Amino acid sequence: MGIPIQGQDFLLERALLQRKNSELYTGDGSVDIQGKPVLRSKTGKWRASSFILGTECCERVTYFGIVTNLVSYITSILHKGNVSAARSVSTWNGTCYLTPLVGAFLADAYWGKYRTIAVFSSIYFIGMCTLTISASIPAFRPPQCLGLTCPSATPAQSAIFFVGLYLIAVGMGGIKPCISSFGADQFDDTDPRERVAKGSFFNWFFFFMYIGALLSSSLIVWIQENVGWAVGFGIPALFMGLAVASFFSGTRLYRFRLPGGSPVTRISQVVVASLRKWKFVVPQDSSLLYETSDEHSAIEGSRKLGHTDGLKRSVTILYLLGYLSDSEMNSCDFSSPWRLCTVTQVEESKILIRMFPIWATSIFFCVVYSQLSTTFVEQAKVMDRTVGSFTIPAASLSVLYVMSGMVGVLAYDKIVVPMIRNFTGRERGFSELQRIGIGLFISCLAMVAGALVESRRLQLAKELDLVDKNVVVPLKFYWQIPQYFLVGCTDVFSFVGAMEFFYNQSPDAIRSLCVALPLLLTSVGSYLNSLILTIVAAITTAGGKAGWIPDNMNQGHLDYFFWLLSGLSFLNLLMYGFCSMKYKPKKVL
């Protein structure tokens, strides 16, 4: 029996209305500041994301204005040794990229990305003001060296400095996991044109980040070295204020995602529900798996995810397939998520588990990245950095890395992607996993380049009888260009690729948390670098030896340290290749 004519007209009108609404409004569940559906034409896209790019640029001026020359401040002003300074910078940098887990959790579960950025940016600004005060008031820093005598900082002086430093680390915790994902949220996945633009957004996001880093590595570092640290820290504090202003300026244009509740609670529910059913045989028919009957997911702000195979019986606690048992079918009691979870909720947990091997095997790239603000700076300090009558600050050489990243991002987006697209058929050329792998390979080459330069520097020091003298070796800093260039290329491939991968593969309701994972890579990489430095120092200084990284670098063997990192990076690349081949992407309904 067919549908009456009137019924057909009603269904046709309803379909036309839904199509019209889908063209007018976003289809990814985003809302405006008042929680109402948003029009495509009046919100989001590049017009809204431009304010977010401005915020990122100014915040990166602030961050790189601190981290780029921080090792020099600790050694020259606080009078710490090279190993101690490198370890302090690595530990703080690691904390900067560990706190995003807290900010991401608050954003996804309760506050949303917008409020989280607003609150934590204020903490960031307070930290910058504290740091500036510690460098401005003479009583808050130790006196200058008198000959070979360099008074150490008092506990109170160190406390003021590190309080400001770690307030910045806390502030970054709410900005870094949210700002890039909030910017990507301005593009609707359900619209093909906006989806392609979203891929470009991550490249442009890093381009503006590099602009901020370029300004810091050149002008601000020069000011710190030649004008003073008070002004050198005060300018980054001003830029942090500009970052806050830029962010709030775009409020009326933003698209917002509703927080989906605590992901920890949802994952716990999946584990508990699966443990209750670990003896059951999982049905082959995926239609027997439980899911809400309407078009909306049970998780606020998230689209439904399709069932995927895998992770059924690997480890007891990972029996993550929530399905309907006979008793639940008969009772129709679907009210307790601690007994029965939807497919979307189960898949959310499975996605996090699948991501973990990719995350874990990408860590060592960040160990290589940590050298930019530690050993690369210490290596540059004992090289000839003069250009005519001008001496380039050692920390300013990171501008080479920044310029490499800027050129690399533009070349990748405008040249590499269109060229590779013709061969792979992918919208973005390489897949995210391929892009990460290429970067990991380049990171091995960066350490080889650094080792070769240091070997040549030490050879020259020996030939000129400078081994026992803590002086600059007449080897031009130009020799460092390849290692900085290669680290920049690594960043373009591995870190940008990781940000894109973790955002695209994450469920809607935990995108801030997943975007925090590549930031956590930087944290773990920095801590791991600090640990490696500590172990290397302990082993190589045994028996009264100078060690690989002594205060007099001419007596050391920094080249051995770089060769060690190169070998470890290659082993890490092999493990990553195996894990990436096993990865299964998410399935959105």
pLDDT at residue 445 in the model: 95
Give the contacts of 246 (CB within 8 A, at least 6 positions apart): 51, 54, 55, 58
> Are 500 and 432 spatial neighbours (Cβ–Cβ below 8 Å)?
yes
pLDDT at residue 109 in the model: 80
Whether 318 has a pLDDT exceeding 60, the answer reads no
pLDDT at residue 20 in the model: 46
Backbone angles phi, psi at 505, to 5 degrees: -90, -5
The DSSP code sequence of 295-348 is: SS-SSTT---B------SSSSGGG----B--HHHHHHT----TTT---HHHHHH
Judged on CB neighbours under 10 Å (0-12, 13-18, 19+), 311 is middle
Give tens-digit pLDDT for 184-239.
888 887 787 888 788 788 888 888 888 888 888 778 888 888 888 889 999 999 99
The most confident of the ranges 92-101, 200-209, 247-256, 325-334 is 247-256
- Rounded mean pLDDT of 422-427? 75
Band of pLDDT at residue 541, cut at 50, 70 and 90: confident
Stated as kind and residue range, the H or E segment containing 475 is strand 473-476
The most confident of the ranges 49-58, 156-165, 404-413, 550-559 is 49-58
pLDDT at residue 525 in the model: 82
pLDDT at residue 319 in the model: 36
DSSP class of residue 287 equals G
Q: Which of 39-53, 309-323, 448-462, 499-513 has the lowest mean pLDDT?
A: 309-323
> Are 495 and 433 spatial neighbours (Cβ–Cβ below 8 Å)?
no
Q: Which neighbouring-strand residues pair with 31?
A: 37, 256
Question: Whole-number mean pLDDT of the chain?
Answer: 79
Give tens-digit pLDDT for 363-399.
888 888 888 878 888 888 889 888 888 888 787 787 8
Higher pLDDT, 479 or 101: 479
Distances (CA, A) of 394 to 438, 455, 480, 577: 29, 19, 11, 36
CATH number of 351-588: 1.20.1250.20
Whether 281 has a pLDDT exceeding 60, the answer reads no
- Rounded mean pLDDT of 472-498? 89
Enter the tokens of residue 555: 């007596």
Enter the tokens of residue 522: 């930087």
User: Which residue has tokens 């680290």?
Assistant: 487
Band of pLDDT at residue 275, cut at 50, 70 and 90: low
In 332-480, alpha helices (H): 343-360, 363-370, 375-381, 398-411, 417-424, 432-463
Q: What percent of the chain has pLDDT over 90?
A: 19
Question: Is the Cα torsion angle 135, 139, 142, 147 positive or negative in sign?
Answer: positive
**DSSP 3-state of 39:** strand
- One-letter amino acid of 51: F
What's the CA gap between 525 and 464, in Å, rounded?
37
- Rounded mean pLDDT of 77-84? 76
Give exposure, 384-403, as e/b (b: 16+ Cβ within 10 Å): bbeeeeeebbbbbbbbbbbb
Dihedral, 142, 146, 152, 157 alpha carbons, nearest 10: 0
pLDDT at residue 304 in the model: 60
- Rounded mean pLDDT of 55-70? 89
Higher pLDDT, 25 or 472: 472
Q: Which neighbouring-strand residues pair with 305?
A: 588
> Are 3 and 483 spatial neighbours (Cβ–Cβ below 8 Å)?
no
- Rounded mean pLDDT of 334-358? 72
Q: How many CA within 13 A on the CB side of residue 325?
A: 14
What's the CA gap between 504 and 216, in Å, rounded?
31
The most confident of the ranges 39-43, 185-189, 250-254, 395-399 is 250-254
Give the contacts of 429 (CB within 8 A, at least 6 positions apart): 416, 417, 418, 419, 420, 421
Whether 19 has a pLDDT exceeding 60, the answer reads no
- Rounded mean pLDDT of 335-345? 63
Whether 401 has a pLDDT exceeding 90, the answer reads no
What's the CA gap between 155 and 381, in Å, rounded?
28
**DSSP 3-state of 583:** coil
Q: What percent of the chain has pLDDT over 70?
A: 80
Whether 12 has a pLDDT exceeding 70, the answer reads no
pTM flag (> 0.85)? no
pLDDT at residue 322 in the model: 42
Higher pLDDT, 547 or 20: 547
Whether 295 has a pLDDT exceeding 50, the answer reads yes
Whether 329 has a pLDDT exceeding 60, the answer reads no
Q: Which neighbouring-strand residues pair with 25?
A: 39
Q: Which neighbouring-strand residues pair with 384?
A: 476
Q: How many CB atoms lie within 10 A of CB 197?
A: 19
Q: Which of 390-399, 528-537, 573-582 has the lowest mean pLDDT?
A: 390-399
Higher pLDDT, 86 or 322: 86
Strands 386-387, 383-384: pairing is unpaired
Whether 426 has a pLDDT exceeding 50, the answer reads yes
The most confident of the ranges 201-205, 263-267, 454-458 is 454-458
Enter the tokens of residue 580: 């990436």
Q: Which of 407, 431, 581, 415 is nearest to 505 (CA)?
A: 431
- One-letter amino acid of 118: A
Domain boundaries, the chain: 25-261, 263-349, 351-588
The most confident of the ranges 41-50, 92-101, 491-500, 568-577 is 568-577
Superfamily of domain covering 25-261? MFS general substrate transporter like domains (1.20.1250.20)
Region at 82 (left for phi over 0; alpha for psi -120 to 50; beta for the rest)? alpha
- Domain pair 25-261 / 351-588, same fold: yes
Whether 10 has a pLDDT exceeding 60, the answer reads no
Q: Which neighbouring-strand residues pair with 256?
A: 31
> Are 213 and 236 spatial neighbours (Cβ–Cβ below 8 Å)?
no
Q: Which of 35-49, 135-149, 337-351, 370-384 has the lowest mean pLDDT?
A: 337-351
Q: Which of 249, 473, 487, 512 is nearest to 378 (CA)?
A: 473
